[in-house]
Each structure stands twice: as C-alpha cells, then as structure tokens.
Amino acid sequence: MSTNTTEKDAGSNMTAIAEYTPTAAALAELRQKHQGVVYDVTVPKQMKAAKEARAELRTLRTDLERKRVEIKAPALERCRLIDAEA
C-alpha cells in the first residue's frame, strides 16, 4: 500500500475532503448492508430488491458527483478569471 496520506482505501471511512465525509459514511453503511449479497433475479421479489440496492448505490454516486461539481465551481471560476485577465 502507498504511504501517500491522501490515498484512501476503498473501505476506509476517512476522507481528506470534509464535504465527502457523509458519502464515505453512507458508502461504509451500504458496504455492510450489501457485501456478499447475491440476488436471484429470476425471482420477482429478489429482482425488486436488487433494483432497490442498485438505486441506493446510484443515488450515492450521483450525489457525490453533484457535490464534486459544487465544491469545484469557485476554483474553476477563479481559473476563468485568471485566464481572462491574462
């Protein structure tokens, strides 16, 4: 494993970006809930459960992307201003 302190283990609940802490916690919770679960998608109830599990993960992913864009926006605007001034 790398000694780089900014590199995080996929199972780690720690993050250097404070805004990502809720996502890291939710990811750890989902990992506990779904790790090792196998759905028999030929059974309608299990297919429904599989879709619900996937929706949870998708929501987490899209929320994280929205947060990333939000936190980067001021830095990107500053870069645009610097380039425009130059």
pLDDT for 42-54, tens place per residue? Answer: 999 999 999 999 9
Q: Is residue 81 in a domain? A: yes
Flag whether pLDDT at 8 surpasses 70: no
Q: Is residue 5 in a domain? A: no
Q: Is residue 25 in a domain? A: yes
Question: What's the whole-model pTM score?
Answer: 0.65
Under the banding of pLDDT at 50, 70 and 90, the label for residue 5 is: very low
* Structural domain boundaries enclosing 63: 18-85
pLDDT for 48 equals 97
Burial state string for 36-56 with b = 16 or more CB within 10 A and e = fewer than 16: eeebeeeeeeeeeebeeeeee
pLDDT in tens, 15-28: 788 888 888 898 89
Q: Is residue 4 in a domain? A: no
Provide the Cα torsion 3, 8, 13, 16; round to 10°: 90
Q: Is residue 6 in a domain? A: no
Q: Which residue, 46, 28, 27, 29, is CA-closest to 37?
A: 46
Q: Is residue 72 in a domain? A: yes
Number of domains in the chain: 1
